[in-house]
Amino acid sequence: MVGDRWSLLIVRDLMVRGYRTFQQFRNSGEGIATNILADRLRKLEAAGIIRGGRERTDGRKLDYRLTEKGIDLAPVLLELLVWAARHERTGIPCGTLAEMAKNREQVLDDVRRRWRERNSTPLMPVFRGGESNREKKRGRKEKRMSKVRVLVGTRKGGFILSADGKRDKWDVEGPLFAGWEIYHMKGSPADPNRLYASQTSGWFGQVLQRSSDGGKTWETPGGEKLPEPYSPPAGVSNKFVYDTSAESGKPLTTHQFYDGKPHPWEFKRVWHLEPSLTDPDTAYAGVEDAAIFRTTDGAKTWHELAGLRGHGTGSSWQPGAGGMCLHTILLDPSNSGRMYVAISAAGAFRTDDGGKTWKPINQGLRSQYIPDPTAEIGHCVHRIAMHPSRPNTLFMQKHWDVMRSDNRGDLWREVSGNLPTDFGFAIDVHAHEPETVYVVPIKSDGEHFPPEGKLRVYRSRTGGNEWEALTKGLPQSNCYVDVLRGAMAVDSLDSCGIYFGTTGGQVYASANAGDSWAPIVRDLPAVLSVEVQTLP
Amino acid sequence: MIRVVLPPHLRTLARVGPEVQVEVEGRVTQRAVLDALEARYPMLRGTIRDHVTQQRRPFLRFFACEEDLSHQPPDAPLPDAVASGAEPFLVIGAIAGG
């Protein structure tokens, strides 16, 4: 069987290129005739090396997959690849080859894992011809992107943790803005050296910091010390004033307080900063009391997008235990006008016109703590997450319940499944697998710590419902820390890194999609937020 | 020349030492001193007084000459010793946990 030239090429295509269908094998560039291909597929199946099944999207097509016996050929294929790369011109990058030859065991473990998980990416790295443009692009990107920078906001300052692509040795810089609460730090996707930070204090209020060199130096935009003679300042980066203008802000006077009485909106702090995907000088700020602001001049000045508070339900919003905060902003990469926000305890909202008009998207949510459990408003949404390649699908960690929507939030369904508790704060999605989701279950709203004193991240490979506990490297006894809503992030290296911070000051990292964890730092102040940048 | 002493966090923010000096033309009042301070160090705007109401932030106090001036009207004249630069105007953060 293995001696046959065509059969081995089919196995190679399955393993190295991630091919699955008759058409793909036929067009793989080796010029196999259809009758021979059909014959070899039959023989490989008869020999128990591959198995054909109906393809999910098109029932008429067959989708081939290696069997256990088939995947056992991986070491043979790997040796052939290494041999070929050494002695033939194949286009395999030298570095990749050296890596593979050095880490045979790890490569093979990875191949087996991906095969087990029915991962759609090729089981072995792709080297030449035949791969799709998208894979080519990703391959190029991976090589360039070899650093990660983790931005950590804590109760007493900000920290920047950096490492190369291996993510095993870390540099820790900080504390930045020592003594202040750093609610959030985030980098611009359009210019990774541009960072924004929300610095707050019960004494001195809000300060907005900006860096243009990746966090080495910071400034308060528009608030720089002026040389004499000084002219009026250029901006006020920490000034967040609610819109009360006659046209757009007039009806926005009060929301409900904890006791249900009307209460005026009062700015307290910026919870979330979301830089634009395309312009480093544009960013959105989610604030407490709940509202969304935008800057288009690099944070010198901020203006409210008052359509959110003004869309009609604002007067019935009420604060959650952490205040009435707008804590999540998601930008749809496929539609520049679409944005999602979440507010505790009002719910989730969407705009399709760049923030002018908004609508609540809370249908399907059920919350026992409000008079009408299925009301349009009043749900304590803790976090929403989205995979950039599937912007219509959202995952939500609510006060209780993990939820999912496949229609931009129009309707939600519960996917808590077998989680030990579906209370929690953080939720995020794997960088390359849109159906792989992470949560950190917390015992209850009255007991903000992991159940049984075991810190466990739960991963679902099926977009929810079926969850597995990830415990390797995490404390499995006497652990009573919390993981807050902003304190989880993923990098976009080939082997996806997951990061989260705790109220006990640990920041844990996994360089293998959650399979194992190690602390980067153990003794920071309570962690409020974690973001990560994947850098060239 | 008026001397102003800032709490440590605001010194860091403004990148200054324990004491700064500002010039005030005309009557030396709380408002005039804070306006001059904010004009010289714009990053302090909003951190001592609210942006909109111009009220003193609740956890801050103003002291001078061993007196608590926090509740004086903003346009009342400050003590002569402050106006002459003999004594500093103190901005103090309340001792309140954290």
Q: What is the mean predicted confidence (pLDDT) over A92-109?
A: 72
Is the CB of residue A491 less than 8 Å from the CB of residue A532?
yes
Residues of A in contact with B10 (CB under 8 A): 204
Residues of B in contact with A202 (CB under 8 A): 59, 96, 98
What pLDDT score was predicted for residue A52? 84
**What ipTM describes this predicted complex?**
0.91
Residues (pLDDT < 70) of chain B are 96-98
Q: Rounded mean pLDDT of chain A?
A: 88
Tell me the one-letter amino acid at A66.
L
| Minimal Cβ distance to A202: which of B8, B14, B59 | B59
Residues of A in contact with B51 (CB under 8 A): 236, 238-239, 241
Q: Which of A174, A175, A342 is nearest to A274 (CA)?
A: A342
What is the pLDDT confidence band of residue A225, given thresholds at 50, 70 and 90? low
| Minimal Cβ distance to B13: which of A202, A207, A233 | A207
Taking each helix axis from N to C terminus, what angle separates A74-87 and A5-16, rounded to the nearest 10 degrees?
A: 100
B59: contact with A, CB 8 A cutoff: yes
Residue A85 has pLDDT above 90, yes or no: no
Q: How far apart are CA A343 and CA A319, in angstroms?
A: 9
Nearest residue of B to residue A234, measured between CA atoms: B42
Is the CB of residue A243 less than 8 Å from the CB of residue A252?
yes
Residues of B in contact with A225 (CB under 8 A): 14-15, 40-43
Q: With an 8 Å Cβ cutoff, are B51 and A207 in contact? A: no
Q: How far apart are CA A220 and CA B12, in angstroms?
A: 12
B61: contact with A, CB 8 A cutoff: no
What pLDDT score was predicted for residue A122? 61
Give the range among A10-19, A53-62, A398-407 with minimum mean pLDDT: A53-62
Q: Residue A155 has which token pair?
A: 């109760």
Q: With an 8 Å Cβ cutoff, are B9 and A239 in contact? A: no
Q: With an 8 Å Cβ cutoff, are B98 and A202 in contact? A: yes
Q: How far apart are CA A448 and CA A427, in angstroms?
A: 16
Q: With an 8 Å Cβ cutoff, are B13 and A206 in contact? A: no
Residues of A in contact with B94 (CB under 8 A): 203
Nearest residue of B to residue A206, measured between CA atoms: B47
| Minimal Cβ distance to A203: which of B44, B45, B57 | B57
Q: Which of A470, A420, A466, A476 is nearest to A444 (CA)?
A: A420
Residues of B in contact with A206 (CB under 8 A): 46
What pLDDT score was predicted for residue A135? 43
pLDDT in tens, A257-299: 988 899 999 999 999 999 999 999 999 999 999 999 999 999 9
What pLDDT score was predicted for residue A13? 83
Nearest residue of A to residue B41, measured between CA atoms: A225
Strands (E), A289-401: 291-295, 303-304, 325-331, 339-344, 347-351, 359-360, 381-386, 394-398
Residues of A in contact with B48 (CB under 8 A): 204
- Residues of chain A with pLDDT > 70, as a percent, come to 88
Q: How far apart are CA B40 and CA A111, in angstroms?
A: 63
pLDDT in tens, A469-506: 999 999 999 999 999 999 999 999 999 999 999 999 99
Residues of B in contact with A293 (CB under 8 A): none
| Minimal Cβ distance to A201: which of B9, B15, B39 | B9
Q: How far apart are CA A234 and CA A268, in angstroms?
A: 23
A225: contact with B, CB 8 A cutoff: yes
What are the residues whose beta carbons fall under 8 Å from the beta carbon of A18, sequence distance 6 or more? Answer: A120, A121, A122, A123, A126
Q: What are phi and psi of A40, to 5 degrees?
A: -70, -35
Strands B2-5 and B89-93: parallel
Residue A228 has pLDDT above 80, yes or no: no
Q: What global pTM score does this model have?
A: 0.77
pLDDT in tens, A105-151: 877 887 888 788 776 566 665 443 333 444 444 444 444 458 999 99
Q: How far apart are CA A528 and CA A273, in angstroms?
A: 13
Quick check: helix, strand or coil at residue A28? coil
Q: With an 8 Å Cβ cutoff, are A180 and B9 in contact? A: yes
| Minimal Cβ distance to B52: which of A177, A223, A241 | A241
A56: contact with B, CB 8 A cutoff: no
Residues 341-370 of A with CB under 8 A from B: none
Radius of gyration over alpha carbons of chain B, in Å?
Answer: 12
Residue A387 has pLDDT above 90, yes or no: yes
Is the CB of residue A451 less than 8 Å from the CB of residue A471?
no
pLDDT in tens, B56-65: 999 999 999 9
Nearest residue of B to residue A239, measured between CA atoms: B51
B77: contact with A, CB 8 A cutoff: no
Q: How far apart are CA A404 and CA A421, in angstroms?
A: 16
Nearest residue of B to residue A218, measured between CA atoms: B13
What is the pLDDT confidence band of residue A460, given thresholds at 50, 70 and 90? very high
Burial readout A45-69 (b: 16 or more C-beta within 10 A, e: otherwise) = beeebbbbeeeeeeeeeeebebeee
Is the CB of residue B83 less than 8 Å from the CB of residue B64?
no
Is the CB of residue A388 less than 8 Å from the CB of residue A318?
no
Q: What angle do CA A531, A416, A386 make, to 5 degrees?
A: 35
Quick check: helix, strand or coil at residue A168? coil
What are the residues whose beta carbons fall under 8 Å from the beta carbon of A202, sequence distance 6 or more? Answer: B59, B96, B98
Provide the β-strand partners of residue B3.
B21
Residue entry with tokens 């960088």 = A431
Residue entry with tokens 């894992």 = A113
Q: With an 8 Å Cβ cutoff, are A241 and B51 in contact? A: yes
Residue A245 has pLDDT above 50, yes or no: yes
Residues of B in contact with A230 (CB under 8 A): 39-40
Q: With an 8 Å Cβ cutoff, are A225 and B43 in contact? A: yes
Residue A250 has pLDDT above 80, yes or no: no
What is the pLDDT confidence band of residue A38, given thresholds at 50, 70 and 90? confident
B91: contact with A, CB 8 A cutoff: no
Is the CB of residue A255 less than 8 Å from the CB of residue A289?
yes
What pLDDT score was predicted for residue A229? 57
Nearest residue of B to residue A201, measured between CA atoms: B47
Nearest residue of B to residue A233, measured between CA atoms: B42
Q: With an 8 Å Cβ cutoff, are A202 and B7 in contact? A: no
Q: What is the mean predicted confidence (pLDDT) over A75-98?
A: 72
Q: With an 8 Å Cβ cutoff, are A236 and B46 in contact? A: yes
Strands (E), A177-334: 181-188, 191-201, 205-211, 254-256, 262-264, 269-275, 283-288, 291-295, 303-304, 325-331
Q: Which of A329, A209, A351, A181 is nearest to A268 (CA)?
A: A181
Distances (CA, A) of A439 to A235, A342, A456: 40, 17, 9
What is the pLDDT confidence band of residue A230, given thresholds at 50, 70 and 90? low
Q: How far is B93 from chain A (nearest CA, A)?
A: 7
